[in-house]
Amino acid sequence: MEKNVELEQLRQLVAIAQTGTMSKAAEALHVSQPSISRGMHALETELGQELFTHTRNRVTLNDAGAIALDGARKVLADVDVMRGNLDEHAKRMRTIRLGTVAPAPMWLLTQRTVTAYPGTIFSTEYMAEQDLERALLDRSVDVAVLIRPLGLPSIRTQQLMTESLSVEMPPDCNLAGRDHVTWDDLNGLPFLVLESIGFWMDVVREKLPDSQVIVQQDPQVLDQLIGSSDLFNFVTEASQAIHPERNRARVPIWDTGASATYFAACLSDSSEQVTRVLDLFKE
């Protein structure tokens, strides 16, 4: 009959070498001392060698035991490496690489996906639209979120959402009572803007060439500055849910470029894990 050395026996051998006694090894491994004794007897039988020198209060490894200990440590180290590699593989299998032109559709897409498929992980990167198209075609990203559909036979596209800009301002501002404003109304006014807003930054700089745009990296710092200054800021129906309540008037912008419809795209031969993300947005 073929004999097999079990990993638990190797762990017990290492524990005995580290603690010096079988009773302490049993305590360290949270097993009974008879279990350790049986394990070592079975290991010696399977290896065909006595591994220990027994004294009254202690067991020590003999020469054969030292060789077995070295081998046990190598096997257990290899098992740890294997498990780490398998964990990384499992994580990669659950990870969807997402490229997006703006944060709001990313929030919606990830929230809906994680709710439907718990354990899904997204790796997200903000990219310009032309870069996103290339990244999708060369498989650098699994899902691309763009502001126009891609009409290629090798790509599947699904509409996600529409986002529209509003402007927030002090309630005593002369624009606060308006039902809407245009870019011309806002050009020249000072704005606080969060850095990570994707393509919206290009829109702001194009439409407000005469405005001072103060860019902040930290959302919490941005909110503090908004709450303590008379500067203007932007908000959308998607982002307003994450902003704290503040005493500011909100007026929608009715003008070209103040609204965007987002589309998610993936390659037609993408994995089921990827395609089911787009399926969540089917009507």
Residue ranges of domains in the chain, CATH in brackets? 7-83 (1.10.10.10), 101-279 (3.40.190.290)
Name the residue with tokens 């402007």: 167
Residue 242 pLDDT: 59
42: β partners: none
Q: Is the pTM of this model over 0.75?
A: no
Tokens coding 76: 């257990």
Per-residue pLDDT at 87 exceeds 80: no
Per-residue pLDDT at 281 exceeds 60: yes
Rounded Cα–Cα distance for residues 112 and 178 (Å): 35
Confidence of residue 89 (pLDDT cuts 50, 70, 90): low
User: What is the Cβ-side half-sphere exposure of residue 268, based on CA atoms within 13 angstroms?
Assistant: 6
Name the residue with tokens 């060439």: 209
Rounded Cα–Cα distance for residues 147 and 261 (Å): 6
Tokens coding 271: 């994995």
Lowest mean pLDDT among 4-8, 216-220, 267-271: 4-8
Strands 155-169 and 143-146: unpaired
194-204 as b/e: b if 16+ CB within 10 A: beebbbbbebb
Per-residue pLDDT at 246 exceeds 80: no
Of 238, 241, 236, the C-alpha closest to 258 is 236
Contact in structure between 235 and 166 (CB atoms under 8 Å) = yes
Average pLDDT, the chain: 87
Confidence of residue 3 (pLDDT cuts 50, 70, 90): very low
Residue 213 pLDDT: 93
> Which of 89-98, 136-145, 204-213 is predicted most confidently?
204-213
- Full 3-state SS string of the chain: CCCCCCHHHHHHHHHHHHHCCHHHHHHHHCCCHHHHHHHHHHHHHHHCCCCEEECCCCEEECHHHHHHHHHHHHHHHHHHHHHHHHHHHHHHHHEEEEEECCHHHHHHHHHHHHHHCCCCEEEEEECCHHHHHHHHHCCCCCEEEECCCCCCCCEEEEEEEEEEEEEEECCCCCCCCCCCECHHHHCCCCEEEECCCCCHHHHHHHHCCCCCEEEECCHHHHHHHHHHCCCEEEEECCCHHHCCCCCCEEEEECCCCCEEEEEEEEECCCCHHHHHHHHCCCC
Per-residue pLDDT at 2 exceeds 70: no
